[in-house]
Structures are given as structure tokens and as C-alpha cells.
Structure 1
Amino acid sequence: MDGNADDRDILARAHVATRLPAQDLDRARRFYSEALGLEPVDERPGGLLYRCGGVDFVVFQSTGASPGTFTQMGWEVDDIERVVAELKRRGVVFEDVGLPGLLGNGQTRDGIAEIVGNYPSKGARGERGAWFRDSEGNMLGIGELVF
């Protein structure tokens, strides 16, 4: 690969920009507001910009649909039980998943999974996770690091 050696980390200095497709932007706005308690910090025709914990993500009008078969974006929280309970109260439906690496016969319990050895770069011994789909079928996750 040609290029300046100083350019090797060109993306390491960039900000990550998550983009989530929405076939119905008004429906997505209602879901993010009513279910997740989030309001756009900026909007333009065809897109909504949200900010959580100093990081931005965009929900944009798209004719394509997400397959919703993998986590597209997630939040790290300090108390996953409290967050999951509150989101359930607001009508969010959590996925029952069965995956290798999950404790307790590889299944979620009350919407929460115990994950062994995930994300070792964060210094945790594991993570507790929960997943749900937004109104557009995007798979979103909630995670709590276990130290």
C-alpha cells in the first residue's frame, strides 16, 4: 500500500459515525422519542442526528431495510436491569437470543444475557447484554461490563 507513514492511523484519529436506516423516518422519530427518550439534536430532510454520551448517530431515510440479524449499535450502561426494566415499561420488546458464549444454557433470562469473555480490550471479564429492534428493524443492544 502506497502512502505516507503518517497516514497509517488516518482513521484512528477520526470519529466513528453510526448510521441506521429507516424506511419511515416519522415512525423512527416516534420510537426513539417515546421508547428510548431521545430527541434529535439536529435534523434535515431525510435524516435525524442524535447524541448520546458525547457520541453522535444518525437515523436516515432509506429504501433499504436492515436485516436486523446482528447488533448494529449499542449503549454501555451501569445498571442493565434498571435500563431494561424502564425500556420494557415504555413498550420495548427485548429479544430472546440463544448464542454460544452465553451462560445459563446459552439463553437470555428476563431479556438479559450473561456473556463470558466478550470485549477483552475493555478490561472486563465479561458483559451482560440485551437486544431489541427499533421500529425499523435495526438490532440495538444494551451492555453492562462485568469486572
Structure 2
Amino acid sequence: MLTDTRTTTVLPVSDMDRASHFYADRLGLRQSGTGPDGSRTFDLGHGNALSLLPAEEGSQTKHTVLSFEVSDIAGEVRELESRGVRFEDYDMPDLKTVDHIADMGGEKAAWFCDSEGNYLCLHEVP
């Protein structure tokens, strides 16, 4: 059954070395493999993985492609900022961030882009 499987999230990257450094050095993920197509795989824990796939510039989307559930979002934001990650801030009627974090009725979220323009998220559930 699909509910019992491990997953791999595949993200397009135009500069593999730059992206690999971002995920290893800024996010602290461990690279676990390289594919024959030039893709690079990183462990996400619990058997899940992230695969960076060589792609043309502009292959990225403007919506969240990967979200990391964390237990202390404020602490994670501070830690990632200390590694050079830049968080997005929003001030719209339906979405406002304070110190980079949006509170959406108890669930909290913070968004940032990787080196290639893919939107990633941290989220904390109550």
C-alpha cells in the first residue's frame, strides 16, 4: 500500500553543485547517492529522501514543493538564518508573517527558497 511506502521528493535544479551545497551546508542534509543522470539524493530521515534533478533554469514553481515538520519553528528559523538561509515575509490580508513566521490558527509556517528558486517551508503543528 502507498501508505506504507517511503517517499522521494524530486526537485529541479539548474546548478547541481550550487544546489548540493545549499542542501548540505545550509540545511544540513546528508548526501546519500548520485544517479547516472547526474541527480543527487539526500536523506530526509524515516527512509524518505530528496532527489535533486538536473533541469533547465525556470523549471521551478512559485508554490511550496517541500515542507519540513519541526517541533520548534522559531528555533529552526534562527538556526537556518545563522547558516545563511533567507526567509520570505508576507503582509497580506490572509497571510502575515511576524519574525518570518505565519500563525494560521495554531499551525505555524515559514517559507524560504533554495539556491535554485524552489519554495520550501518549515511548519509546526499544535
TM range (shorter): 0.7 to 0.9
Structure 2 gaps, min length 5: none
The TM-score normalised by the length of structure 1 is 0.76
Counterparts of 1:10-29 in structure 2 under 5 Å?
Answer: 11-29=2-20
Q: Relative to 1, partners in 2 of residues 1:44 and 1:88: Cα closer, same or farther, differing over 3 Å?
A: same
Tell me the CA shift for residue 60 of structure 1: 1.0
Distance in 2, matches of 1:13 and 1:82, equals: 31
Pick from 74, 91, 96 the counterpart of residue 107 of structure 1.
96
Distance in 2, matches of 1:34 and 1:74, equals: 18
Show the counterpart of 2:68. 75
Pick from 45, 49, 52 the counterpart of residue 53 of structure 1.
45
Q: Relative to 1, partners in 2 of residues 1:16 and 1:52: Cα closer, same or farther, differing over 3 Å?
A: closer
CA contact (8 A) 1:65 1:136 kept: no
Show the counterpart of 1:66. 60
Deviations 1:104-131 (A, max 9, x none): xx31011111012xxxxxxxxx311000
What percentage of residue pairs aligned between the two structures are identical?
A: 39
Tell me the CA shift for residue 100 of structure 1: 5.8
- Tell me which of the two structures has the higher relative contact order, counting C-alpha pairs closer than 8 angstroms and 6 or more residues apart: 2
Tell me the CA shift for residue 33 of structure 1: 1.4
Show the counterpart of 1:40. 31
Q: Relative to 1, partners in 2 of residues 1:14 and 1:130: Cα closer, same or farther, differing over 3 Å?
A: same
Show the counterpart of 2:83. 90
* Partner amino acid, structure 1, of 2:65: Q
Structure with max Cα Rg: 1
Show the counterpart of 2:119. 139
Structure 1 gaps, min length 5: 1-9, 117-125
Distance in 2, matches of 1:50 and 1:90, equals: 18
